[in-house]
Amino acid sequence: MNIKDYVINRKIELKKEISSLTIKPKLIIIQVNDDPASDTYVRGKLKDGAEVTANVILDKQRPDISEEDLIKLIDKYNNDKTVHGLIVQMPLPKHINENHIKLAVNPKKDVDGFHPLTNFDPCTPKGIINYLKSENVVIQGKNAVVIGRSNIVGKPMQKLLLKENANVTQLHSKTTNEDMRFYLEHADIIVVAVGKKHFLNSNFKLKESAVVVDVGINRDESGLHGDCEPNLKVRLQTPVPGGVGLLTRLTLLTNLMEAYYGIQH
């Protein structure tokens, strides 16, 4: 099933589940930037919440808020028993230390999965694994290659693929071209999270049975582009737009439901 239909179906199920609950799951999004890309992501999260009838609330703060005041605000929501999920939209203004903020969020409400003691897997890699399973992609014993090693995508992707018993290789900017070609040629599952338009292209020789997951979101004057050239000769390739971004958004809702059930009402 394509990702759009998969997400629509899961949202219908979530809406049904939430409509049977007297207390609705509540997610607070704190935003402290004026970044247009963040505005778009936040709008998407509010829209998703409304669609499934969850209570998703934006608390937009001025970008000059001090780190101390932001932590006080986070603490207010940490201690608010009516709040099940709490996220702080990244990026943060330069005067605020990202690690301090990630550590300030109650791990039980950390539905982004950023706290080291969190109960939740980060949304992008978790959404990808769930989608691959729904497509009956065999992960166990397969050669998986993750390109990119960021804390929000590459590293947790490697961890989750390993948990599913894949043989995982992680590549990055210091990988030689020769090694990049070698590992990609032998890969059954390829996750590309580099942030470079059409980084993976038809110049690479890939297995026809390979599954390619395109995490990249690259904006230019002609629109949104993935890290992979469209229509590679492989078994399955996730599109951009309408691909991993939708899975990430869906997983925020499923993490919120887990937080909801994990917290006493």
> Which positions are annotated as active-site residues?
45, 89, 112
Residue 189's nearest CA partner among 144, 124, 234 is 144
- 8 A C-beta contact, residue 85 and residue 257: no
- Structure token pair of residue 226: 């993935």
Per-residue contact track with ligand NAP, 2 to 41, x per CB under 6 A? ----------------------------------------
Long-range contacts of 38-44, Cβ-Cβ distance < 8 Å, separation of 24 or more = 38/89, 38/90, 38/91, 41/89, 42/89, 44/249
Choose between 85 and 148: whose C-beta lies nearer to ligand NAP. 148
Q: Give residue 113's region: left, alpha or beta (phi > 0; psi -120 to 50).
A: left
The helix/strand/coil state of 189 is strand
Give me the residue whose beta carbon is nearest to ligand NAP: 150
Instruction: Identify residues 136-175 at the interface with ligand NAP (CB under 6 A).
Output: 147-150, 152-154, 171-175
List phi, psi (to 5°) of 210: -70, 155
Q: Is 239 exposed, middle or buried (0-12, 13-18, 19+ CB in 10 A)?
A: middle
Smallest distance, Å, CB 118 to ligand NAP?
Answer: 17
Site string for ligand NAP, 183-222 (x = CB under 6 A): ----------xxxx------------------xxxx----
Nearer to ligand NAP, 73 or 237 (CB): 237
- Burial of 159: CB neighbours in 10 Å, binned 0-12, 13-18, 19+: middle
Q: Please, which residue, 77 or 120, has the CB nearer to ligand NAP?
A: 120
d(CA 207, CA 186): 7
Residue 244 is a binding residue for ligand NAP (CB under 6 A):
yes
Residue closer to ligand NAP (CB basis): 73 or 156: 156
Number of residues in contact with ligand NAP, rule: CB under 6 A? Answer: 24
The smaller minimum CB distance to ligand NAP, of residues 194 and 257, is found at 194
What does the binding site for ligand NAP look like in residue numbers (CB under 6 A)?
Answer: 124, 147-150, 152-154, 171-175, 193-196, 215-218, 244-245, 248
